[in-house]
Amino acid sequence: MPLPIPQVVRGTCLVMVAFGLMLGLVVQVGCAGRVVRARRLPARWQAADVSNARTVDIGRLSAPTVKSTLIEPEDVVDISINTGIESNAQVAAVPVRVGPDGVATLALIGRVQLAGLEPHAAEQEIAKAAVERSIYRAPQVTVTMRKKATNQITVIGAVEKPGIIEVPRGQSTLLTALVAAGTLSKNAGTTVEVRRHGDVSTAGSAEPGAVRLTSAQSDAGADALVPAADAPAETIKIDLADLDDSGGRNVQLTDGDIVRVEARDPVPINVIGLVRKPGQYEAPVNKSLYVLDALALAGERSNPWADKIIIKRHVRGEAEPIVIQTSVARAKREDDSNVRLAPGDVVSVEETPQTVSYNVISTIFRFNVLAGGSVPLF
266, 283 in Cβ contact below 8 A?
A: yes
Q: What are the structural domain ranges in the chain?
A: 1-30+353-378, 76-147, 150-263, 266-349
Contact at 8 Å (CB) between 6 and 376? Answer: yes
Q: Where are the beta strands (DSSP E) in 299-338?
A: 308-313, 322-327
Q: Which CATH architecture has domain 76-147?
A: 2-Layer Sandwich (3.30)
CA nearest to 144, candidates 169, 167, 165, 123: 123
pLDDT digits (tens, 9 = 90+) for 156-169: 998 999 999 998 88
Task: Indicate if 266-349 has the same CATH topology as 150-263.
Answer: yes
Mean pLDDT of 222-231: 44
pTM over 0.95: no
**Burial class of 193 by CB neighbour count within 10 A (0 to 12, 13 to 18, 19+):** middle
- Check residues 10 and 144 and name the one with the higher pLDDT: 144
CATH for 150-263 (3.40.190.170, 2.60.120.620, 3.10.560.10, 1.20.950.20) = 3.10.560.10
Runs of H (alpha helix) within 143-255: 174-180
> For 247-263, what is each residue's pLDDT tens digit?
446 678 889 999 999 88
Name the CATH topology of 266-349: Outer membrane lipoprotein wza fold like (3.10.560)
* CA–CA gap between residue 240 and residue 238 (Å, rounded): 6
Q: According to the model, what pLDDT value does residue 186 have?
A: 81
Measuring CA to CA, which residue among 190, 195, 291 is closest to residue 241? 190
Confidence of residue 241 (pLDDT cuts 50, 70, 90): confident
Q: What percent of the chain has pLDDT over 90?
A: 40
Q: Which of 13-17, 21-25, 234-238, 344-348 reaches the highest mean pLDDT?
A: 344-348
Is 9's pLDDT higher than 80?
A: no
Q: What pLDDT shows up at residue 199? A: 53
